[in-house]
Every structure is written in structure tokens, then in C-alpha cells.
Amino acid sequence: MKRVWGYIAIAILFFVLIWVWTLQVDNSLNYPEFISGGALFFVIFILCMFNVRKRLPFLPLWPAHKWFLLHSVAGFLALFLFWLHADVLWPKGLYVQILTILFYGTTLSGILGLIMEKIYPNLLTRVGLECIYERIPRDLAEIRNKAESLVLECTEKTGSDTLAQHYIETLGWFFQRPRFFINNIFGGQNAQTWVMQQCSVLERFLNEAERGYLDQVYVLAETKRKIDFHYSIQTMLKKWLLVHVPLAAAVMTMVIWHLIVIQVFFN
């Protein structure tokens, strides 16, 4: 925690120094935008270096957790420097507005990623089940096959198709593929409630032998529910970068083009 406040203190000090510098330049009737713009470009460059660090983990370029902390604090610093540079929340002009949209989109996706990095690992730990993302389709297929085998065995040995009919009408939908994605990414319990309701409603219509099979199907459904939760959370953790990184690259491209235009205009 002390390290976090240390980074925040440095960021605040940096921002204040740039702000005071721009005020002094403005009072001397020069261009304070050069100061704030240069500082913003420097911070954006540092932010982009985080992606380079992740692609080159073998290089001794600081531990990953320190880079992540620096990246998080620098992201908020870049936002305040952007406001200082633009002097408004929403500038005029199509070109600048496109750059603003890209910058805000990058910032919002970064904040979303920061929230997920802080909350999701704890949620996955509470599930009480570990699973590898790439193996989830295979794991779900195995669970579905086991559930269908139990239902078929129940029908053959008890001579009743009550469980089979219920499986076809309701439970089969649940076992088919990952479900409750939206609810899971918000940490909801709709899947658990749905599984309990479906099994409790059916239980009253089954005899003792059929209930034994239903209990086994319920265990499989609970395991599948936990895997679904992993699928939802891990998908968000993996896929949000497909939004954040391209937006960041677009911002960097626009910023470089902006610098070129400024240099041409003032020269």
C-alpha cells in the first residue's frame, strides 16, 4: 500500500509541476500547450512501454507487478494531463474529437481492466474450483456426456422417463454450453439459483431411485456452473485487452500524427 501512495505522490507532483510550468509560459505569452502536450506524450509513451514489457518478460525490465502499478497510476495521470492540454472536457473540431473519443475509450477500458484485475481473482478463488481456460470446452463436454449417461441409465433401470423429459426440456439447455455469462461477469448467483430451482421442482415427482440419479446430475450441474463462472470471468480478463490495446495503439498513432502536424504548422 505504501508503494501505491508513493506512485500517486510522484504523479501528483509531476502534474503540479507541469501545471505551474504551463501557467508561467502562458503568462509570458508563449504556447503552454507545448509543455502540457510534451508531458502527455511522455506519459503515453511510458504507458505503451507496459505492453512491450509484457511481450518481453525475459528482460530485466522491472517486476511485472511494479509495471502494472506504474501503468495504472500513469493512466490516471495521462487523463488529467489531457484535460490540462485540451483545456476542455470536449474540444471542438472533428480531428481533435476523434482523438478525444479514442483517448476516453482507452481510459475507460483501462479503468475497466483495473477493476477486473482487482476483483475477479478473488471471485475465482471463492468458487473453489480451478480450471484452465483452454480446457473448458473439453471439460464441459465431459460433464454433459456424464449427465446424459446418468439420465439414460436412470430411464433404463427405473423404467421412468420423468428425469429424461425434464432433462430434455430444461437441464439439457444448461448443459449444452456456458450459460449466464452476463450475470457471472457481475458476480451474480442466477446460475446457482436456477439449478437449485430446477432440481427441487423435479424432486417431488421422482421416486427414491430416481432421486439418487437426480442428486448425481445436480452435482454435475454444480460443477458445470462453477466452470461457467470461470469461463465468463476468464473470458473478460482475456478479451478486454482486444479492446484496450487497439485503442491505445490508435491513440499513439493519432498523437504521433498530431505532433507531425504541429511541427509542420509551426515550422
pLDDT the model gives residue 48: 85
pLDDT the model gives residue 96: 86
Q: DSSP label at 233?
A: H
pLDDT the model gives residue 76: 94
pLDDT the model gives residue 108: 95
- Predicted TM-score of the model (pTM): 0.82
CA distance 180 to 37: 45
CA distance 215 to 150: 10
Cβ atoms of residues 116 and 238 within 8 Å: no
Cβ atoms of residues 102 and 249 within 8 Å: no
Sequence letter at residue 89: L
pLDDT the model gives residue 216: 95
Cα dihedral across residues 49, 53, 59, 60: positive or negative: positive
Question: What pLDDT tens digit does each residue of the chain (267 aa) get?
Answer: 667 888 899 999 999 999 999 999 888 867 788 899 999 999 998 888 877 666 666 556 666 678 788 889 999 999 999 999 988 889 888 888 999 999 999 999 999 999 998 899 999 988 888 899 999 999 999 999 999 999 999 999 999 999 999 999 999 999 999 999 999 999 999 999 999 999 998 888 889 999 999 999 999 999 999 999 999 999 999 999 899 989 999 999 988 888 888 877 766
What is the total residue count of the chain? 267
Q: At a CB cut-off of 8 Å and minimum separation 6, what does 213 contact?
A: 150, 151, 153, 154, 158, 163
